[in-house]
């Protein structure tokens, strides 16, 4: 966990007081809606279909037990008893009242949580790998660099009114769990041949109505140059990014229109002018940030302790262990993913009671630390293997031990038309119906890793372009229709899915997805060929022929 | 997708003006008396673009009670009962179409 200092606490308290005053002036009529709207958006407050929505940032996906417990409190006292974890490591409360917002924000600020940088044309919440500092794969803790970016970007005056929102993701592992290639800037932390730490810098990735995979503009940027190089990118974007058309204002459009090479040249020229200035990170500055991350005092333990071996005789525990428990960098420990996708439930939602349970379990078994992943699941990054049986029993009792992580019913979904003012179609009920088709988890396990992503409109908050099966809701003559794509992926081999065929109706989607999966089961080279690899080998045509013949 | 407020007005049947209540975002409907009600049954219904624009203009004069007014289709039953005219409005009136977590 990163330990906030007095400056952070004072800043958040001032911000809450400022917002309280703004809300008061809005309610009194001193501020018009046009005047108030940008102010509330800068604090993560949206007006959705039937209520205000408060979006809270979870910087680099890391939460303390105290913070999660406070979120449960806000859900219980100021909302309807639940929250929704998003694809950008945020949480949203969907039923918050404007006149109660200052109190809710004050409660959150007491534990260092806020909605700043969750809306508006600024640098948004910086995201990273939910397994940071736990996975043996990584070369450094990517959160150090995400925190440096957070401190640099928060309320940065030059980047508060960018042409459009700006999203940065960081990974330090070979396997990319942060989807860096579909962000405005993706940073891959690695070491060069000399053992020095640095970043591969990718720009111009993004989804939405014009999706692109990011282009690499620098294979190795010394880590200490991070801020000056990011500032150079931001300045080039700020100068040349389009402000005349909201649909062409993201950096991906600029990079696409002038080409990655030209964009890179402009960045390098800007960087040459500023690289030795105030943004050059000194060893002391980096160490200061690094020192504020408090790491667990791990015990010296052996892998596969007797308690774990004994518990594995229970088939239910063993199934969950195979699915949801992952290798930790410290012997005798494990990373645990907590599925927020119980079959038939809204993906990514957790009740206040469930949040409290996870907070309690994090305190008891996981050094009080919780992570949120872009897949809309939670994670306990540091659990002693001997504690896994007791942890599982407690999670199971709270409905939080569904062993379907990375399976066909671990569906990523935006809120869709059930909540969102921008959506064309529903998304959550589509996810629920598909999940129910694969409620037999033995069948889902037989299918293997398969990511389904659903978006209720072209804005693509459900990241449908990079789903192994992507589902996009479109409206035609007042009816809900859905386009299906196959073969997308969000990892280090990121690519956009290929359209399968004509859009189908709401009622047809679950059956069509089932047919796609059945076709895969028939066509795959063997049980070890994943869905995504079968699509890569055969293309979408064999799927199209079979699926559309059946519908 | 543009929000209804940003779309060109088309009136092909009965419509009403709807918005969100300032204090809590609740769905409200413009009434014949020039106020706002959470009950669709209280909504003023018009059937021409000119009448809808007039209703909308009146609704937009004061933004202290309701926010973001726009024209929404409604259905008028044979008994005169009003119902939302499309899926978006059905969801606004009745809430999400699935069971909320509890």
Give tens-digit pLDDT for A196-253.
Answer: 999 999 999 999 999 999 999 999 999 999 999 999 999 999 999 999 999 999 999 9
Of A27, A418, A421, the CB nearest to B98: A418
Count of pairs with CB atoms under 8 A, one residue in A, one in B: 82
Contact A200, A119 (CB under 8 A): no
Q: Which residue in chain B is spatially nearest to A419 when comparing CA positions?
A: B96
Helix axis angle for A428-437 and A509-523, nearest 10°, is: 40
Q: What is the mean pLDDT of residues A431-460?
A: 97
Q: How confident is the model at residue A444 (pLDDT cuts 50, 70, 90)?
A: very high
**Element (DSSP H or E) covering residue A383:** strand A378-384
Asked whether the beta carbons of A524 and A534 are under 8 A apart, the reply is yes
Chain A residue closest in CA terms to B89: A49
Give yes or no for B80 touching A (CB within 8 A): no
Beta bridge partners of A241: none
Query: Rg of chain B's alpha carbons, rounded to an integer?
Result: 13
A75 compared with A159, residue with greater pLDDT: A75
* H helix runs in A424-497, sequence order: 428-437, 441-447
Write the residue in B63, B68, B87 that is nearest to A47 by C-beta.
Answer: B68
Distance from CA of A533 to the nearest CA of B (A): 33
Residues 6+ apart with CB under 8 A from A285: none
A32/chain B closest Cα distance in angstroms? 7
Per residue in A380-396, pLDDT (tens digit) is 999 999 999 999 999 99
Q: What is the per-residue pLDDT across A299-329, written as a single tens digit (0 to 9) for each?
A: 999 999 999 999 999 999 999 999 999 999 9
Compare CB distances from B3 to A97, A418, A422 and report the shortest one's residue: A422
Confidence of residue A98 (pLDDT cuts 50, 70, 90): very high
Does the distance separating the beta carbons of A51 and B86 come in below 8 Å? no
Question: Which residues does A71 contact at the CB level (< 8 Å), separation at least 6?
Answer: A56, A63, A83, A91, A108, A113, A355
Domains (range + CATH), chain A: 6-109 (3.90.480.20), 134-291 (3.30.413.10), 306-397 (3.90.480.20), 412-550 (3.30.413.10)
- Which residue in A50, A246, A376 has the most chain B C-beta atoms within 10 A of its own C-beta, making it the best mutation to test that interface? A50
Where on the phi/psi map is residue A332: left (φ > 0), alpha (ψ -120 to 50), or beta? left
pLDDT for position B57:
95
Reported as a single tens digit per residue, the pLDDT across B20-61 is 999 999 999 999 999 999 999 999 999 999 999 999 999 999
For helices A541-550 and A531-538, give the axis angle rounded to 10 degrees. 100
Residue ranges of the alpha helices (H) in B1-102? 49-59, 87-94
The region of weakest confidence among A2-6, A310-314, A473-477 is A2-6
Q: In this complex, is the C-beta atom of B49 within 8 Å of any C-beta atom belonging to chain A?
A: no
Mean per-residue pLDDT of chain A: 96
Of A458, A415, A416, A535, which Cα lies nearest the Cα of A211?
A: A458
Distance CA(A511)–CA(A430), nearest Å, equals 11
Q: How confident is the model at residue B6 (pLDDT cuts 50, 70, 90)?
A: low
State whether B91 and A418 contact (CB < 8 Å).
yes
Decide if pLDDT at A331 tops 70: yes
Q: Is-above-0.90 flag for pTM?
A: yes
Residue with tokens 């809430």: B95
For A420-451, give one letter per residue: b (16+ CB within 10 A) or e.
bbbbbbbbbbbbbbbbebbeebeebbebbebb
- One-character DSSP codes across A278-315: TTSPPHHHHHHHHHTBPPP------SS-HHHHHHTTSH
Contact A338, A354 (CB under 8 A): no
Tell me if chain A has a CB within 8 Å of the CB of B100: yes
Interface ipTM above 0.85: yes
- To the nearest whole angstrom, how far is the Cα of B80 from the nearest Cα of chain A? 23
Kindly give the pairing relationship between strand A90-96 and strand A52-57.
Answer: antiparallel
Q: Does B10 touch chain A (CB under 8 A)?
A: no
Is beta strand A498-499 parallel, antiparallel or unpaired with respect to A504-505? Answer: unpaired
- Per-domain residue ranges for chain B? 14-94
B6 reaches A (C-beta below 8 A):
no
> What percent of chain A stands above pLDDT 70?
100
């Amino acid at each position: 966990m990163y330990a906030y200092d007095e400056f952070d606490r004072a800043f958040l308290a001032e911000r809450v007081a400022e917002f309280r005053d703004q809300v008061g002036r809005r309610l009194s009529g001193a501020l018009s809606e046009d005047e108030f709207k940008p102010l509330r958006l800068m604090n993560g407050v949206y007006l959705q279909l039937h209520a205000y929505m408060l979006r809270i940032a979870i910087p680099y996906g890391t939460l303390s037990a105290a913070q999660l417990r406070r979120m449960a409190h806000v859900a219980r006292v100021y909302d309807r008893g639940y929250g929704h974890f998003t694809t950008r490591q945020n949480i949203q409360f969907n039923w918050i009242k404007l006149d109660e917002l200052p109190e809710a924000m004050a409660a959150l600020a007491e534990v260092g949580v806020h909605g700043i940088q969750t809306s508006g044309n600024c640098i948004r919440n910086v995201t990273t790998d939910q397994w940071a500092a736990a996975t043996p794969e990584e070369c450094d803790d990517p959160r150090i660099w995400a925190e440096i970016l957070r401190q640099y970007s928060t309320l940065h005056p030059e980047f508060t009114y960018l042409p459009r929102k700006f999203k940065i993701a960081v990974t330090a592992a070979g396997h990319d769990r942060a989807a860096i290639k579909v962000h405005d800037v993706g940073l891959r932390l690695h070491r060069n041949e000399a053992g020095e730490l640095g970043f591969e810098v990718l720009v111009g990735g993004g989804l939405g109505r014009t999706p692109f995979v990011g282009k690499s503009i620098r294979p190795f940027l010394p880590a200490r140059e991070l801020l000056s190089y990011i500032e150079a990118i931001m300045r080039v974007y700020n100068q040349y990014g389009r402000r005349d058309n909201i649909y062409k204002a993201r950096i991906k459009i600029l990079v696409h229109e002038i080409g990655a090479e030209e964009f890179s040249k402009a960045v390098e020229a800007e960087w040459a002018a500023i690289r030795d200035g105030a943004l050059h990170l000194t060893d002391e500055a980096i160490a200061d940030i690094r020192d504020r991350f408090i790491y667990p005092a791990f015990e010296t333990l052996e892998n596969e302790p007797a308690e774990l071996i004994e518990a594995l005789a229970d088939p239910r525990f063993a199934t969950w262990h195979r699915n949801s428990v992952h290798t930790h960098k410290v012997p005798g420990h494990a990373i645990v993913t907590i599925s927020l996708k119980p079959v038939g439930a809204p993906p990514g939602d957790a009740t206040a009671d469930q949040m409290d349970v996870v907070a309690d379990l994090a305190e008891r078994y996981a050094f009080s630390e919780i992570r949120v992943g872009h897949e809309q699941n939670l994670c306990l990054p540091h659990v002693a293997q001997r504690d896994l049986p007791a942890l599982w029993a407690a999670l199971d009792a709270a409905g939080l031990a569904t062993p379907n992580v990375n399976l066909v019913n671990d569906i990523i979904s935006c809120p869709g038309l059930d909540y969102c003012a921008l959506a064309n179609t529903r998304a959550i009920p589509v996810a629920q119906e598909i999940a129910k088709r694969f409620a037999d988890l033995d069948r889902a396990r037989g299918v293997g890793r398969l990511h389904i992503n659903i978006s209720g409109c072209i804005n693509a908050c459900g990241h449908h372009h990079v789903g192994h099966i992507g589902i996009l809701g479109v409206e035609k003559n007042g009816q809900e229709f859905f386009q299906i794509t196959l073969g997308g992926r969000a990892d280090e081999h990121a690519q956009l899915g290929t359209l399968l065929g004509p859009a189908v109706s709401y009622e047809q989607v679950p059956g069509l997805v089932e047919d796609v999966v059945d076709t895969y089961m028939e066509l795959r080279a063997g049980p070890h060929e994943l869905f995504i690899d079968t699509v890569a080998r055969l293309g979408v045509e064999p799927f199209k022929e079979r699926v559309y013949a059946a519908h | 997708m543009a929000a209804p407020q940003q779309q060109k007005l088309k009136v092909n049947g009965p419509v009403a003006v709807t918005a969100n209540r300032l204090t809590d975002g609740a769905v409200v409907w413009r009434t014949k008396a020039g106020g706002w009600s959470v009950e669709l049954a209280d909504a003023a219904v018009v059937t021409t673009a000119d009448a809808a624009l007039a209703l909308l203009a009146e609704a937009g004069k004061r933004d202290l009670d309701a926010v973001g007014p726009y024209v929404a289709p409604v259905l008028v039953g044979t008994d005169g009962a009003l119902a939302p005219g499309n899926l978006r409005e059905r969801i606004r009136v009745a809430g999400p179409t699935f069971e909320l977590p509890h």
